[in-house]
Copies of this chain bind each other. A is one copy, B any other.
Amino acid sequence: MVNDQPIDFWFTMGSTYSYLSTMRLPEIARATGVSFRWRPFHLLVLLKEMKHVPFADKPVKSAYMWRDIERRAAMYGIPACLPAPYPIPESERANLVAIVGMQEGWGIDYVRAAYRRWFQAGEPNGSEANLSASLREVGQEPARVLALAADASTRDRLTAEVDTARSLGLFGSPTFVVGRELFWGDDRLEDALDWHRAGRLTRR
């Protein structure tokens, strides 16, 4: 029996490991036939509530993170010029733009363009340079989109997504949600696919 429910892909534009997922998902969706619902949210709100901002003031763990991402990006054939700037100051604006994009249909393309710029050219998500170039790349006029992103209705939508994420028990990005099961981390994407297909993890 094929599970035709989508997997919810929750991500925040300030997350490093989410780069791997944004690059991997389209090919995985094609190969498996599984659809993913891309759901940007502003994770930082939840992390501050939990007093748990990962990697901040943790140089040893941060050094490991970059090496881990570098090795795994190479495994997947994903280009990466590391370390990328981190943490980044304007991830909220990038999330707001992503919200607009998901509503208008160019969101996935924007998110992937923006992440490429951040991880391949050192332009952080949400920065002026990244926003302008990424939006033009996906055929959108930056001034129009940024005005929409700054509108109260967009912020309300982002806040509503954060509220939903909180209620689901999310605490990290990326998180894949299959039914009531959470799978945190790009390295749990295969677990999420297993669960979606079989309702359990299958030995690999």
A51 touching B60 by the CB < 8 A rule?
Answer: no
Q: Name the residue among A71, A77, A181, A184 with the largest chain B CB count within 10 angstroms.
A: A71
Query: Which of chain B's residues have a CB closer than 8 A to the CB of A203?
Result: 75-77
B64 touching A191 by the CB < 8 A rule?
Answer: no
Complex: chain B residue closest to A55, CB-CB: B52
Q: Which listed residue, B51, B71, B202, touches A201 by the CB 8 Å rule? A: B71
A68 touching B184 by the CB < 8 A rule?
Answer: yes
B61 touching A191 by the CB < 8 A rule?
Answer: no
**Given A75-B200, A202-B75, A203-B76, are A169 and B63 also a contact pair (CB < 8 Å)?**
yes
- On A, residues with C-beta under 8 Å from B are 50-52, 57-58, 60-61, 63-64, 67-68, 71-72, 74-77, 169, 171-172, 181-182, 184, 187-188, 191, 195, 200-204
